[in-house]
Amino acid sequence: MQYFTTAVALLSTSLLTTAAPTASSAPLERRACSVAYPQSIGFPINYDIHQDAGGANKVPNAITFSNIPAGSYGCQMEVNFPAGYPITSSGNSQVNIYATSGTAPGSLFGTVNFASSPVAPTKFVVNSATCDTTMSYRMEIASADQAGRVAFADTKDAGITMTYNC
């Protein structure tokens, strides 16, 4: 009996020491993403996406990211607004974003309601895709027949970006 108690004690001690986690000497580093901004002559880029009732007088807006390095990975379109950022919207202001370049031009890339919170920064992830050196999209009101409008100024601190290499 004493042999059995000793064997169990030794076995449980060896299991505890082998299962114990080890401390790492190197702290984990947060990965930093690279950010591409829309192609433009300068900032702000004034987006005004709208249409009248029945889908008449449709005015889509284009957005292109042409500064993504070859070999980049994990491209993700994001929308970021600081608290209280001014966005004008009326009617059905939901926006569809369609790819106009890449492997599936014309396909729906994502849908977003451009909005900012009055009290906190706002971030939307539209979608992610395989990175290309140039990525182009068309933004238009999502409804086929309802009137709608959304307008905002895209700057380095607010609006649409493409993150990559995260």
- The model's pLDDT over 86-107, given as tens digits with 9 standing for 90+, comes to 999 999 999 999 999 987 888 9
Question: What are the start-end ranges of the E strands in the chain?
Answer: 34-36, 45-51, 61-65, 75-81, 88-91, 95-99, 108-112, 122-129, 135-141, 148-154, 159-164
Domains of the chain and CATH, by start: 33-164 (2.60.120)
Written as six digits, the tokens of 121 are: 């920064």
10-32 per-position pLDDT tens digit = 444 444 444 444 454 555 555 68
Bridge partners for 135 per DSSP: 65
With tokens 């607010």, the residue in question is 158
> Which residue in 114, 112, 109 sits closest to 128, CA to CA?
109
